[in-house]
Amino acid sequence: MLVEERRQKLRDLICTHGFASLQDLARKIDVSESTIRRDLEHLHQMGYLRRTHGGAVWNQDSAPLPPLEERTGRQLEEKRWIGELAAQLVQDGDTVLLDGGTTTLEVARNILGGGKRVQVVTNSLPIAQMFASNPTSSDLVVLGGYVYPRTGVALGSSTISMMENLHAHVAVLSVSGITQEGLFNSNLLLVETERAMMRLAERVVVVADHTKLGRRALTWLCNLNDIDDLVVDDRITDDSRKWLEDAGICLHVARRAGV
């Protein structure tokens, strides 16, 4: 088992139960207590949990992403506007790298509906399934690795190693928060994977609804000027618009039909 996979399993176990003892964790994951102790110390330093005598307690401030089906219904209308506009940034013949997430799922849906011939590279099982069901519209490459069970997204070193010799015209990523300090996401493995995606793409497009603006999440991803485009809905505030444009980001505002 890879280190990041083991640590993700630890997080899931402790999050589910609130508390777990060193002995129980070693037995369930089938590694030594000394290995679990090192992993717990690492996760404690990252802010996921608090070490206690003989075990660990989940840090409620670092709650993981809810399941995909639960998140899909949030700001669904705005995500649809964003997906439609972001898909227009992908040109016929492009190789497009699609990150997992509910908003990137809407981008994928619009790329597919637009009939563009593209090469799709994705670490998202829901997005891969969507394109695999319509093979005439695109070529599909699925990135493997440890699949985070709540989201159906492959993460970690195996996923990153598959990208080493790839090139993409555009990467479309989702995030959990954007402030003047930069972009954030809720999972350390996800951030590492997204950074690898950014390195192999000529153009980095981030899709985020207005609720992500002015909000931090657990792990810092990158500076504002590390991305090229941001697609957001028209409920963005004037203040947010100003500091985003001042950072040199090309801002695309998705508006509801008829507005």
Q: Using DSSP, state whether 135 is helix, strand or coil.
A: coil
Q: Are residues 103 and 35 in the same domain?
A: no
Band (pLDDT 50/70/90 cuts) for residue 75 is low
Over 50: is that where the pLDDT of 156 sits? yes
pLDDT band at 69 (very low <50, low <70, confident <90, very high): very low
pLDDT above 70 coverage of the chain, percent: 90
Q: Is the model's pLDDT at 3 over the cut of 60? A: yes
Res. 63: pLDDT tops 80: no
**Res 132: pLDDT:** 87
Of 71 and 175, the structure prediction assigns the larger pLDDT to 175
Q: Are residues 23 and 102 in the same domain?
A: no
Lowest average pLDDT, out of 53-67, 149-163, 182-196, goes to 53-67
Average pLDDT, the chain: 87
How far is it, in rounded angstroms, from Cα 226 to Cα 222? 6
Assess if residue 202 is contained within a domain: yes
Contact 171, 205 (CB under 8 A): yes
- Please report, for residues 160, 170, 228, the alpha-carbon distance to residue 155 in angstroms, rounded to integers and kept in the order given: 8, 19, 23
| 127, 148: one domain | yes
Mean pLDDT of 163-174: 95
Domain end among 60, 90, 106: 60
Task: With a cut of 90, say whether residue 12 has pLDDT above it.
Answer: no
Range of the domain at 216: 68-254
Residue 101 and residue 53 share a domain: no
Residue 190 placed within a domain: yes
Choose the final residue of a domain: 38, 60, 82. Answer: 60
Question: Comparing 3-12, 156-165, 203-212, 233-242, which segment has the lowest mean pLDDT?
Answer: 3-12
Q: How many CA atoms lie within 13 A of 53 on its CB side?
A: 0
- The Cα–Cα gap between 233 and 209 comes to 6
Q: Domain for residue 8, yes or no?
A: yes
What average pLDDT does range 3-26 have in this prediction?
82
